[in-house]
Amino acid sequence: MVEDLSKYGVECIGDHCSILCMWTDDQLGRIVRAGGSIVTTCEPTVDFLPDKKAVFCLPMSSVANVSLEDIGGPGRAVAYFDRIADILKRHNLPFEECGDCVHFTTNRCHGGCLAHRQWGDGIIGATLKTWSVKEDGSKVFRFRENIIIGKYQAINGNEEEILVSDTQSNLTFQASEDLLTLAHLFDGRTTISECIQIMANNIEGIEAEDLQDEVDQFLFTAWMHNLLEEVL
């Protein structure tokens, strides 16, 4: 079809993510020669809905959505989805082989449309009511600053989580959620791996490998990002 349409000056441009390995070299060559293209990386195409919500894309609307009022407007919604896009691509891969595929590790393919993966119900939906920005925001801000100067130490939790305690106020945080989310927002450019190393270097009793295990199992949630957008 692509070749037939090209004879009439029609270009077939892909707009939905497909898996790179589903195409043969011959098929890819014929598509390109006919002036067509395919998409193998899934990027947010933010849609704004009548109920004042922004969604990652329409197929992901039940999973990746935020309230425009909670997040602070369309611009912040777009920035938020841009920020979590790379995180989403690394989770719930459709095939076991994807994790070690050179096309995935070099960011040329993300395993197809994100909407086709198995997500929990509203796993990254905005739930700002969980935290009070006024009451808990200052606590989170102090937490971020104290990480840098090493005022936190690891304490023993159960085998499934790493807990970190504030040595002054005895506040306790779960590393996989609070620590890594805060670390990721240190400067807006630090990679997750670099964040993990920052945490390991500054918090006594935490190893980088343990934190990596935590982040591999955790998907950042919208409510924490929304909260930090207001606080930091």
Strands (E), the chain: 13-17, 37-39, 47-48, 53-55, 65-67, 152-155, 163-166, 172-174
In sign, the C-alpha dihedral spanning 168, 173, 179, 181 is: negative
Question: Does the predicted TM-score (pTM) go above 0.85?
Answer: no
Tell me the sheet residues that pair with 174. Answer: 163
pLDDT at residue 140, as a whole number:
42
**Average pLDDT, consecutive stretches of 10 residues, N- to C-terminus, the chain (232 residues):** 82 81 87 85 86 84 77 80 74 77 84 72 31 37 45 41 45 44 43 60 65 48 41 38
pLDDT at residue 54, as a whole number:
87
Taking the domains of the chain in order of start, what are their residue ranges?
A: 2-39, 47-116, 130-227
pLDDT at residue 196, as a whole number:
61
pLDDT at residue 230, as a whole number:
42
**Taking Cα atoms as reference points, which of 97, 65, 106, 68 lies closest to residue 221?**
65
- Measured distance CA(101)–CA(67) in Å, rounded: 36
pLDDT at residue 44, as a whole number:
86
